[in-house]
């Protein structure tokens, strides 16, 4: 069964997200959210398998099976998502297969294939992403990524190509230029967006990144559409970050439209606190006046020991009825992860504030995985098969 147009659009959106990740992944280092994602990844053993079961209120349970096999210069990672079928049994919904090959000391090739399953239990290919990364002796790199989607007849059609060139401009600075080409509908590719990213590291453990996005102006020229400026500073275990976003108006004039300020601290006991404040020219219920207004504050506290990790998040936003009154707590989320010899268990509870100011639980999601993090459970017996 061929994929629908909706599925193809979803696949293209996923490609764009991956591309964004490719050219701005360095900024992830400043947030607890990214640290959480990294902690959740399986350990880089030579071979392992893991099954995670997820259940949530008002949603059907799902199951994810992952495997990782490394042999010589080849690594294969597989993930299968399963959902409950009409007969109450799990049935496949999607498969992702990622193959990474270290061609030589300077070249790595990665191919990601995404599959879906139809109502008749047949698997069909939805998307293929092929990436090749080359590096030089002086530290310059080039990454070329192509994305192909299946058409209604199941044939692969090239829909996107991205080329990112990174070169060292000094021992502490580098520049990355990226061009994204999209299908023109006639078998060709047309440049659709260009970015220029300048990164500079300083002796005081700070990182400055300026990313300029260029868009076609309709006259065959490139015009600046957006400029993002990020600064990350570290002081021991403490970290501060700031991002300023400026966008061009109809006449091409840049003006700041948002600013995000973050502060992360860590105690000697390992407790982490992170506060992120977002300022914007657009606030629901207020007329834009050209000034930045505090639009959201997210406060996160993380505590962990050898047996568990707890993260509590609180979101503050303007009162929808009276935005000029300032921020009020609008939602709370609590993540709890427990480690044991049999695997990990995670619970995510979300609360929102109603019109009376009462917080109500709207969702409880539970996950259980049989993958054991050795760093958390030092002497736990491994369930991973040896190959």
User: Chain-wide mean pLDDT for the chain?
Assistant: 86
Q: How many angstroms separate the CA atoms of 95 and 14, rounded?
A: 14
pLDDT the model gives residue 290: 87
pLDDT the model gives residue 387: 39
Q: How many angstroms separate the CA atoms of 237 and 268, rounded?
A: 9
> The dihedral of CA 235, 240, 244, 245: what is its sign?
positive
Q: Which residues pair with 316 in a beta bridge?
A: 297, 329
> Would the pLDDT of 1 be above 80?
no
pLDDT the model gives residue 374: 59
pLDDT the model gives residue 287: 86
pLDDT confidence band for 29 (50 / 70 / 90): very low
H-type alpha helices, the chain: 5-24, 32-40
Which of 169, 180, 114, 183 minimizes the C-alpha distance to 144? 180
Phi, psi of 157 (to 5 degrees): -125, 130
Which of 135, 136, 180, 147 minimizes the C-alpha distance to 23? 180
Please list, in sequence order, all residues whose beta carbon lies within 8 angstroms of the beta carbon of residue 362, skipping any fewer than 6 positions away: 57, 350, 351, 352
Q: Kindly state the DSSP code that residue 34 receives in the 8-state scheme.
A: H
pLDDT confidence band for 3 (50 / 70 / 90): very low
pLDDT digit string, tens, across residues 168-191: 999 999 999 999 999 998 889 999
Separation of CA 269 from chain center: 28
Q: Percentage of the chain surpassing pLDDT 70?
A: 84
pLDDT digit string, tens, across residues 270-324: 899 999 999 999 988 888 898 999 999 999 999 998 889 999 999 999 987 788 8
Separation of CA 204 from chain center: 28
Q: How many angstroms separate the CA atoms of 357 and 359, rounded?
A: 7
């Amino acid at each position: 069964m061929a994929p629908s147009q909706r599925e193809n659009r979803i696949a293209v959106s996923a490609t764009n997200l991956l591309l964004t990740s490719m050219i701005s992944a360095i900024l992830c280092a400043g947030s607890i959210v990214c640290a959480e994602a990294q902690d959740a990844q399986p350990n880089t053993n030579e071979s392992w398998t893991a099954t995670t079961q997820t259940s949530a209120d008002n949603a059907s349970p799902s199951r994810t099976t992952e495997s990782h096999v490394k042999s010589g210069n080849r690594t294969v990672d597989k993930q299968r998502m399963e959902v409950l079928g009409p007969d109450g049994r799990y049935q496949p919904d999607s498969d992702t297969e990622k193959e990474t090959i270290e061609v030589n000391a300077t070249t790595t090739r990665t191919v990601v294939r995404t599959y879906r399953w139809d109502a008749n239990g047949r698997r069909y290919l939805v998307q293929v992403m092929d990436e090749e990364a080359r590096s030089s002796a002086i530290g310059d790199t080039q990454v070329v990524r192509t994305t192909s989607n299946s058409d209604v007849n199941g044939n692969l059609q090239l829909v996107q190509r991205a080329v990112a060139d990174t070169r060292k401009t000094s021992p502490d600075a580098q520049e990355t230029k990226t061009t994204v080409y999209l299908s023109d509908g006639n078998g060709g590719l047309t440049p659709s967006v260009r970015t220029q990213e300048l990164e500079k590291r300083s002796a005081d453990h700070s990182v400055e990144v300026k990313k300029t996005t260029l868009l076609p102006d309709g006259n065959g020229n490139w015009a600046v559409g957006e400029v993002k400026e990020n600064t990350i500073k570290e002081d021991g275990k403490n970290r501060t970050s700031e991002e300023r976003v400026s966008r061009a108006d109809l006449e091409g004039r840049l003006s700041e439209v948002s600013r995000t300020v973050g502060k992360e601290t860590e105690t000697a006991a390992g407790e982490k606190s992170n506060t992120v404040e977002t300022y914007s020219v657009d606030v629901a219920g207020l007329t834009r006046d050209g000034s930045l207004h505090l639009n959201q504050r997210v406060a996160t506290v993380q505590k962990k020991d050898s047996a568990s990790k707890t993260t509590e998040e609180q979101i503050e936003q303007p009162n929808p009825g009276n935005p000029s009154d300032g921020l009020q707590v609008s939602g709370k989320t609590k993540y709890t992860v427990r480690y044991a010899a049999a695997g990990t268990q995670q619970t995510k509870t979300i609360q929102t504030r109603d019109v009376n100011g009462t917080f109500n639980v709207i969702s409880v999601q539970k996950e259980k995985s049989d993958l054991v993090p050795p760093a958390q459970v030092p002497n736990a017996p491994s369930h991973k098969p040896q190959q």
